Structure 1
Amino acid sequence: MSQPAAPRATGSAVAAEALLSSFAQAGYARAEPPILQPAEPFLDLSGEDIRKSLYLTTDARGEELCLRPDLTIPVARDYLASPAAGQAAGFCYVGTVFRYRGGRTSEFLQAGVESFGRGDRAAADAEMLALGLEALAVSNITDVDIRTGDVALFAALIEALDLAPSWCRRLVKDFNRKASLAEDLARLTLASDSARKDYDGVLSALAGSDRNAALALVTDLLSIAGINAVGGRSVGEIADRFLEQSTLTGGTLPRDIRVLIERFLTITGDPDEALAQLRTLAADARLDIGAALDEFERRIGFMAARGIDTAATRFATSFGRGVDYYTGFEFELHRKNNGAEPLVAGGRYDSLMTRLGARAPIPAVGFSIWMDALGAKGCAR
Structure 2
Amino acid sequence: MVVETTRELEALEAQAKTLMNVFATAGHEAVAPAIIQPADVFLDVVGESLRARTYVFTDPDGAELCLRPDLTVPTCRLHLARHVDPATPARYCYNGAAFRIQPVDADAAHPREFRQAGFERFGDVAREEAEAKTISLVVTALEKAGLTTWTLKLGDLGLFSSVLDEAGLSPRWKKRLDDAFLRPRAFREALKAFTRGVRSAPLALPDSLLSSLDRENTEPSEAAVLAYLEEKGIELFGTRALADITANLVTIAEGREETPLDETAAKLISDYIDVSGPARTAGAKIARLLKGARAGSGAALETYDRRLALLSNAGIDLDRVMFSAEYGRTLDYYTGLVFEVHTGTAGTGSPVANGGRYDALMRAAGANADIPAVGAAIHTERLLAAVRGVSL
- Check whether TM > 0.5: yes
Q: Deviations over 1:245-280 (max 9, x none)?
A: 245332110111111111111112322311111222
Q: Is the 8 A contact 2:213 2:221 kept in 1?
A: no
Post-superposition shift, 1:14? 2.0
221, 226, 246: which is aligned to 1:239? 246
121, 125, 131: which is aligned to 1:125? 131
Q: Is the 8 A contact 2:88 2:122 kept in 1?
A: yes
Question: 1:297 matched to which residue of 2?
Answer: 305
What is the CA–CA distance in structure 2 between the aligned matches of 1:170 and 1:201, rounded to whole Å? Answer: 23
Post-superposition shift, 1:240? 2.9
Question: 2:66 matched to which residue of 1?
Answer: 66
178, 183, 189: which is aligned to 1:177? 183
What is the CA–CA distance in structure 1 between the aligned matches of 2:217 and 2:341, rounded to whole Å? Answer: 34
Q: Secondary structure at the match of 2:377?
A: strand
243, 247, 251: which is aligned to 2:259? 251
What is the CA–CA distance in structure 2 between the aligned matches of 1:255 and 1:211, rounded to whole Å? Answer: 31
Matching of residue 90 in structure 1 with residue 91 in structure 2:
yes
Question: 1:362 matched to which residue of 2?
Answer: 371
Q: Deviations over 1:120-149 (max 9, x none)?
A: 111111111111111210221121011111
What is the CA–CA distance in structure 2 between the aligned matches of 1:66 and 1:13, rounded to whole Å? Answer: 26
Q: Provide closer, same or farther for how the CA distance between residues 272 and 217 of structure 1 changes in structure 2, counting only shifts above 3 A.
A: farther
What is the CA–CA distance in structure 1 between the aligned matches of 2:189 and 2:295, rounded to whole Å? Answer: 24
What is the CA–CA distance in structure 2 between the aligned matches of 1:50 and 1:192, rounded to whole Å? Answer: 27
Question: 1:348 matched to which residue of 2?
Answer: 357
Question: 2:343 matched to which residue of 1?
Answer: 335
Post-superposition shift, 1:202? 6.3
Matching of residue 152 in structure 1 with residue 158 in structure 2:
yes
Q: How does 1:26-65 map to 2 (within 5 A)?
A: 26-47=26-47, 50=50, 52-65=52-65
Q: Deviations over 1:175-220 (max 9, x none)?
A: 1233511111111111169x8888678657757x427557645654
Matching of residue 12 in structure 1 with residue 12 in structure 2:
yes
Q: Which amino acid aligns with 1:24?
A: A
Q: Deviations over 1:97-136 (max 9, x none)?
A: 2222245542222110111110111111111111111121
Question: 2:3 matched to which residue of 1?
Answer: none
Q: Secondary structure at the match of 2:290?
A: helix
Q: Provide closer, same or farther for how the CA distance between residues 379 and 220 of structure 1 changes in structure 2, counting only shifts above 3 A.
A: farther
Q: Provide closer, same or farther for how the CA distance between residues 214 and 17 of structure 1 changes in structure 2, counting only shifts above 3 A.
A: farther
Q: Provide closer, same or farther for how the CA distance between residues 51 and 250 of structure 1 changes in structure 2, counting only shifts above 3 A.
A: closer
User: Across the two proteins, how many residue pairs are aligned to each other?
Assistant: 370
Q: How does 1:107-146 map to 2 (within 5 A)?
A: 107-146=113-152
What is the CA–CA distance in structure 2 between the aligned matches of 1:78 and 1:53, rounded to whole Å? Answer: 23
What is the CA–CA distance in structure 1 between the aligned matches of 2:372 and 2:221, rounded to whole Å? Answer: 26
Question: 2:4 matched to which residue of 1?
Answer: none
Q: Is the 8 A contact 2:212 2:221 kept in 1?
A: no
Consecutive unaligned residues of structure 2, counting only runs of 5 or more, are: 1-7
Q: Secondary structure at the match of 1:114?
A: strand
Q: Secondary structure at the match of 1:283?
A: coil
Question: 2:79 matched to which residue of 1?
Answer: 79
Post-superposition shift, 1:300? 1.2
Q: Which amino acid aligns with 2:265?
A: I
What is the CA–CA distance in structure 2 between the aligned matches of 1:78 and 1:379, rounded to whole Å? Answer: 36
Q: Provide closer, same or farther for how the CA distance between residues 204 and 42 of structure 1 changes in structure 2, counting only shifts above 3 A.
A: same
Q: Is the 8 A contact 2:212 2:224 kept in 1?
A: no
What is the CA–CA distance in structure 1 between the aligned matches of 2:210 and 2:288, rounded to whole Å? Answer: 38
What is the CA–CA distance in structure 2 between the aligned matches of 1:243 and 1:202, rounded to whole Å? Answer: 10
What is the CA–CA distance in structure 1 between the aligned matches of 2:374 and 2:274, rounded to whole Å? Answer: 26
What is the CA–CA distance in structure 1 between the aligned matches of 2:160 and 2:211, rounded to whole Å? Answer: 25
What is the CA–CA distance in structure 1 between the aligned matches of 2:169 and 2:175, rounded to whole Å? Answer: 10
Q: Secondary structure at the match of 2:82?
A: coil
More relative contact order, 1 or 2 (CA 8 Å, 6+ apart)? 2
Q: Is the 8 A contact 2:154 2:337 kept in 1?
A: yes
What is the CA–CA distance in structure 2 between the aligned matches of 1:360 and 1:135, rounded to whole Å? Answer: 32
Moved more, 320-329 or 240-249: 240-249
231, 235, 253: which is aligned to 1:228? 235
What is the CA–CA distance in structure 1 between the aligned matches of 2:220 and 2:258, rounded to whole Å? Answer: 16
Moved more, 196-205 or 20-29: 196-205
Moved more, 26-35 or 274-283: 274-283
Post-superposition shift, 1:351? 1.0
What is the CA–CA distance in structure 2 between the aligned matches of 1:246 and 1:179, rounded to whole Å? Answer: 25
Q: Provide closer, same or farther for how the CA distance between residues 338 and 149 of structure 1 changes in structure 2, counting only shifts above 3 A.
A: same
Q: Provide closer, same or farther for how the CA distance between residues 87 and 285 of structure 1 changes in structure 2, counting only shifts above 3 A.
A: closer
What is the CA–CA distance in structure 2 between the aligned matches of 1:356 and 1:238, rounded to whole Å? Answer: 22
Question: 1:4 matched to which residue of 2?
Answer: none
Q: Is the 8 A contact 2:209 2:225 kept in 1?
A: no
Post-superposition shift, 1:82? 0.9
Consecutive unaligned residues of structure 1, counting only runs of 5 or more, are: 1-7
Q: TM-score, normalised by structure 1?
A: 0.87
Question: 1:165 matched to which residue of 2?
Answer: 171
What is the CA–CA distance in structure 2 between the aligned matches of 1:287 and 1:189, rounded to whole Å? Answer: 27
Q: Provide closer, same or farther for how the CA distance between residues 35 and 51 of structure 1 changes in structure 2, counting only shifts above 3 A.
A: same
